[in-house]
Structure 1
Amino acid sequence: MYELSTEYWFDSAHFLTDYHGKCENLHGHQWRVTAYIAADQLEEGGTDKGMVRDFVAFKRIVREECDALDHSFLVEEGSLAPATIAALEGEGFTLTILPFRTTSENLARYLAGRLEARGLPVSRVDCNETPNNRASYIPER
């Protein structure tokens, strides 16, 4: 088994709905994302010969997915009143409405799905919300 990993990051704000503690309030993180891709065999021909995947393409895809969330307010769908959403958008804030509670665990799963949809053989995604706190998602193979 061969495995590659690359890291990138994004800054965003969020809050946790139905949570009782500091994280129920709006706050931000510099999320560090480590994506892993794996293959049983290396590519046998073409540009990727002798590789799992070209690091240049792998890094670009991970960076693009992180950049799509960078400096955005991550909002769980249905957690804010429509008038609040409209007011924030009216003030020019960038919102990313997601169909899940915006935890590290769910963000790791979301990013794994986004990377898989772009053709990467994802074996794991880590999502750090702080230097010491990390959630990992490992897709079923």
Structure 2
Amino acid sequence: MSEPFVLEAAGGRRWIVGSPRDPYGDGYVRTVATELHDDGMTASTVAKIDGRYASLECTLPAFVAGLAADWRGWDGVRTWTSMERELALDVRHDRRSRVALGVTLRAPGPDWDDIAWSARVVFVLEAGEELAGFAADLGRFLLT
């Protein structure tokens, strides 16, 4: 079992992603245990992410790689959501030098009525090298 992926920020904010697992043994769905920590709050869930048969452009590694490729900026908000919305990312670029990465966790399992708990933490990354390093590290971690 490998060490988890950890994104840390000032003030003790952390996003932790555990090693991907194939719960059904067929490669179609992978899960990751994930946690958020901020200001005394801890939230954790298990997110269903696309497996190895998903089209590449829909995967989390492809999403973060696209952010790094567009490091000079974009308009609006870019989003990525896990299969059953347990993990969601929303990313904004300030068109100067910073990216705000919002990470939202929700209770595991489908929640189409939005009645389950959720927790959100925002991380601010430098739009060049820091964003590129984050994307490369998370992509490598999830593809192992």
Tell me, yes or no, whether TM beats 0.5.
Answer: no
Q: From the two aligned structures, give the one with the greater helix fraction.
A: 1
Q: From the two aligned structures, give the one with the greater strand fraction.
A: 2
Structure with larger RCO (C-alpha < 8 A, sep 6+): 1
- TM-score normalized by structure 1? 0.31
- TM-score normalized by structure 2? 0.30
